[in-house]
Amino acid sequence: MIEALLPRAEAEARFPSYARVPLGEHALIPGLVNAHTHAAMALMRGLADDRALMDWLRDHIWPVEMRLVNSDFVHDGTLLACAEMLRGGVTCFNDMYFFPEAGARAALAAGMRAALGMIVLDFRSPYATDAGDYLSKGLALRDALKNEPLLSFCLAPHAPYTVSDAALERVATYAGELDVPVHMHLHETADEIRDSLAAHQQRPIHRLRRLGLLGPNLIAVHAVHLTEDEIALLAEHGCHVAHCPSSNLKLASGIAPVAALHERGVNLGLGTDGAASNNRLDVFAEMRLAALLAKGASGDPTVLPAHTVLEMATVRAARALGLADRIGTLAPGKFADMVAVNLSALELSPCYDPLSHLVYAAGREHVTHVWVNGELLVEDGRLTRLNAAELAAKAAYWKDKIRS
């Protein structure tokens, strides 16, 4: 827990016995929050690049998942992702994947904060048989781990095109009863909207409104293809959006209207999506790209200034997860999730405005120290809990399994 924020001399006088970490050339910032990812898919990084979303899913990703994904796969893949995210200054991630209990074990082993998705799908997977089975397993996991201080939970129906009305109504009921976020892909592609019109005679957002899912618990992931009325609808219902600019570009899904969303007061967080569709779990890269895309798409260079984008990667993402009272800013009483960024590197010199540098010039390679809940997990760029050689060996093992 953060006890105080003080000038150095006052801090040394007030807390003379505390350990000191001198970081005279650094910016100390809140831990970055990855608002949307599929952590275990780090094991599928680069597996099927340069394809459209449904081709990528149906012909490449889903077959591998049906054949190989199990608890060990998710545990090892999530550990690999945690190592990458920690070294890049990410202290909390919002996950959506199968076998969330294995993801929980990995996050706790890494010492990282995680919001675990209680995933819901209508089709069979190695994890569950139908929507009811997914929900039962997810809710049982939440009950078992709800007192873990580093873990929180979201209901995570995958997408409108993979979850029925009946299942979504159950999700809405549980979300209201448990007061947990609903984390869902929404309006990611033009095909998704066209298929929804054919199947339901409604665009997906209007279908979710009919089913009672639009509200301050909803985290709409991607939200690329939106009309002005739909932006107003998200704002009116207090919904959140997880903006994933790199994934949206790589899958050619489009450019989300973040300037318009921000102008209407929709809370925006930044996500990487999974490493299979990005291919980096790098929130520094997402910050820079989000700022530049918003300016280029809107024609307004003042849109999404650096301080706003840094908030999207910290407190605004935390707000979407219901965690803003605990993380996202450096303040007394909040958890000590902190990141030190070295601004003395040659490529960052000179530095007139540290905040601007964090978004437009610095990268994850400049992260030197990372704390989660006060524990030092990255020291001088080195992981303190996780063994990099062991993680590389696990990645090689799963690569051989996937390629075979």
Residue 251 lies in a domain: yes
Sign of the alpha-carbon dihedral angle for 336, 95, 222, 272: positive
Task: Give the structural domain span for 94.
Answer: 31-388
Q: 283-319 pLDDT, tens per residue?
A: 999 999 999 999 999 999 999 999 999 999 999 999 9
Residue with tokens 């990611």: 188
Distance of CA 215 to the CA centre of its chain: 20
Q: Is residue 17 part of a domain?
A: no
pTM of full prediction above 0.85: yes
Residue 338 neighbours by CB distance under 10 Å: 21
d(CA 282, CA 86): 10
Q: Which of 232, 272, 269, 226 is nearest to 248 (CA)?
A: 272
pLDDT at 321: 98
Per-residue model confidence (pLDDT) at position 53: 81
**In a domain? residue 242:** yes
Residue 7: its H or E element:
none
What would the two tokens of residue 53 be? 């979303």
Answer yes or no: is 402 within a domain: no
Cα–chain center distance at 378: 20
The low-confidence residues of the chain, meaning pLDDT below 70, are none
Nearest to 148 by CA among 103, 98, 84: 103
The number of domains in the chain is: 1
Tell whether 26 is covered by a domain: no
pLDDT at 155: 98
CATH number of the domain encompassing residue 280: 3.20.20.140
The structure tokens 């990099």 sit at 388
Tally Cβ neighbours within 10 Å of residue 202: 15
Considering the domain boundaries, does residue 298 fall inside one?
Answer: yes
Q: Which of 161, 237, 241 is nearest to 202 (CA)?
A: 161
Kindly state whether residue 139 falls inside one of the protein's structural domains: yes
Predicted local confidence at residue 374, as pLDDT: 97
Q: What are phi and psi of 114, to 5 degrees?
A: -140, 140
Radius of gyration (C-alpha) of the chain in whole angstroms: 20
- What per-residue confidence (pLDDT) applies to 201? 97
Would residue 227 count as lying in a domain? yes
